[in-house]
Structure 1
Amino acid sequence: MTKSKKKTRESNSAKEAAQATIDRLDTCNDAYTSGAFKYLRLLVHVLSAAQFSYGIYFHYFRVHWPKDLEEEELKARWGGKFKYLTFLDVILQAIYHSLALLNDLFGDNTVHVASKSKLRSVRDYIFSALAFPVAHNVCISFWVIYIWDRELIFPSALDAIFPSWLNHVVHTNVALLAVMDMFTCFRKYPSRLAGVTGNISFILLYIIWLHIVRYFSGEWVYPILEVLPLAFRYLFLGLLVGFNLVCYLLGEFCNSIVWAQELKLLQQQQQQKIKQG
């Protein structure tokens, strides 16, 4: 009888703890999926998708290279503007924020262990493995080299044709809006293996693309690659891969801090299900 009562008490305690966890998750979801927070998230995605889409249009159709730039013909012939990580990144951001907007309208934003929305699962993976790290890689790398010697990455001749606002859209806002998205969208990061694999694969494919362009055009995409000796050139490219990985790990860490309470509740819920199961 004593053992039976003890088991009953333990069972009741486990049920009460599980219900308390569910109640706290419901409270989080009430605040997260409705009211001001819901509309803030929607606003971030609407503005981001519109801004990056227009940036792509303006960059591709309205920005024309000066005739006195020697590589103008090569730009048009080999890869065009698609050879630049900056341009590929703004396309990536437009795709991500458009998916996020579609998920806001038709998908699922609730705090769950695993989302039932495939749209949200794709959104979360693209953000984690690609959108956040590539945006910060582009932003930080560009402005560091720009401050050091802008002629190596953004020659002053481009000032006349490349508006200041567009420069910030493709080199600054990509990172700022990724941060805003992190604070408005709950997500569980993928497994470390899955996230790192996607992250490194993307940047390695881009480096291969750089070499294809170099082989057929005879010119490196970025002037800095022309002036660096062979060993330092590949050290630079290796650092590009490493820094992209660092940006991924930074995003993973920041997400765990921003959503610490929700992730802890989900972990408790999983542990309680295992004990009850």
Structure 2
Amino acid sequence: MAKSKKQKRELEAARQAAQVHSAQLETCNDAYTSGAFSYLRFLVHLLAAAQFSWSIYYYLWKVHWPPGLHEEEELKTRWGGKFKYLTFLNVILQAIYHSVALLNDLFGHNGVTLASKSWLRQLRDYLFATLAFPIAHNVCISFWVIYLWDRELIFPAALDAIFPRQVWLNHVVHTNVALLAIMDLFTCFRQYPSRLAGITGNASFMLLYVIWVHIVKYFSGQWVYPLLEVLPLPLRYLMLSGMVALSLILYILGELINNIVWGPEFKLLKQKTIKQG
């Protein structure tokens, strides 16, 4: 009889603990999906989607080679156009990601959960984890490190004639991409995909870009970046391998930061799962 009472007390304690965890999770969801926090998340996605979409339009249709620039016609018709630069491809990627995130804010689901049934939410989380966060920081870090070392190797001074008053564009495509990815990480709860799925998606994108760089070289006779022209063969492929490796490191770093930032929420979800089990 004593044993039966003990079991009842344990069951009651477990039930009360489960109720507490559920109440904490519900409070967390209410704060996260409504009020000021939801407006901040929506604003981040709206401004980012608008900014990157406008930058794509401006970069394609408003940035022109000025008359009189040396080898103007040759520069205009160089194979691959602006789509040969990882910077430009990344801006397109960021515009797509933030547009998907904005649609999810409007029509999907932003709750704190480990298994979302919203396909918009799943797509948003996968795009951010595998591409948007690591590629944005890859572009930002690579560009500014090489630029500060020797800008002629990445953004020659001759291009100042092409971007005479568009300093903002340079920072949008090389700086804001990383800053907005960080803001997104702190405003969006997400469950990262499995490590295998995430690394496969990230590595596939970067390897396809390396192949694209060689295709451009084959048809145009020139490497995409001046740095690749001056590097000897072993260092050239060391650099390209380093780009892929950096992207993978940034993927893992993004996952780690996400788990730290949203650690309390993950803990609540795991406790709820254990209690239900």
- Please indicate, yes or no, whether the TM-score normalized by the shorter chain is above 0.5: yes
C-alpha separation between the residues in 2 aligned to 1:232 and 1:48?
A: 36
Distance 1:76 1:270 in 2: 59
Letter paired with 1:111: V
In the other structure, the counterpart of 1:235 is 238
How do residues 90-105 of structure 1 correspond to structure 2 at under 5 angstroms?
Answer: 90-105=91-106
Unaligned runs of 5+ in 1: none
Would you say the 8 A contact 1:74–1:217 is kept in 2? no
Residue 216 of structure 1 is matched in structure 2 by: 219
User: What is the deviation of 1:64?
Assistant: 1.7
Give deviations 1:38-91, integer Å, cap 9, x for gaps: 111111111000000000000011112356454864664522111100000000
**Larger deviation, residues 73-82 vs 218-227:** 73-82
**Residue in structure 1 matched with residue 28 of structure 2 by the alignment:** 28
Instruction: Tell me the SS of whatever aligns to 2:39.
Output: helix
What is the RMSD of the two structures over their aligned residues, measured on CA atoms?
1.5
- 1:142-173 Cα deviation digits (max 9, x unpaired): 00000000011101111122210000000000
Give the match's secondary structure for 1:220. Answer: coil
Q: How far apart, CA to CA, are the structure 2 residues paired with 1:194 and 1:71?
A: 44
- The answer (yes or no) to whether the contact 1:75–1:81 under 8 Å persists in 2 is no
Per-residue Cα deviation, 1:161-210 (whole angstroms, up to 9, x for no partner): 22100000000000000001111111111111111111111101100100
Kindly provide the amino acid, as one letter, of the partner of residue 169 in structure 2: L
Q: Show the 5 A alignment for 1:1-277.
A: 1-66=1-66, 68=69, 70=71, 73=74, 76=77, 78-162=79-163, 163-274=166-277
CA distance in 1 between partners of 2:97 and 2:74 (Å)? 32
Pick which of 202-211 and 6-15 moved more: 6-15
When residues 97 and 217 of structure 1 are mapped into structure 2, their CA distance, relative to the original with a 3 A threshold, is same
Distance in 2, Cα, partners of 1:99 & 1:75: 33
Question: Residues 64 and 18 from structure 1, CA distance in 2 versus in 1: closer, same or farther, beyond 3 angstroms?
Answer: same
Q: What is the percentage of aligned positions where both structures have the same residue?
A: 70
Q: Which contiguous aligned blocks of 4+ residues in structure 1 show a shift greater than 6 angstroms?
A: none
Q: Which amino acid aligns with 1:26?
A: E
Counterpart residue identity of residue 117, structure 1: S
Rounded to whole Å, the distance in 1 between the matches of 2:19 and 2:127 is: 33
**Distance 1:245-1:194 versus aligned 2 partners, 3 A rule:** same
Matched pairs, number? 274
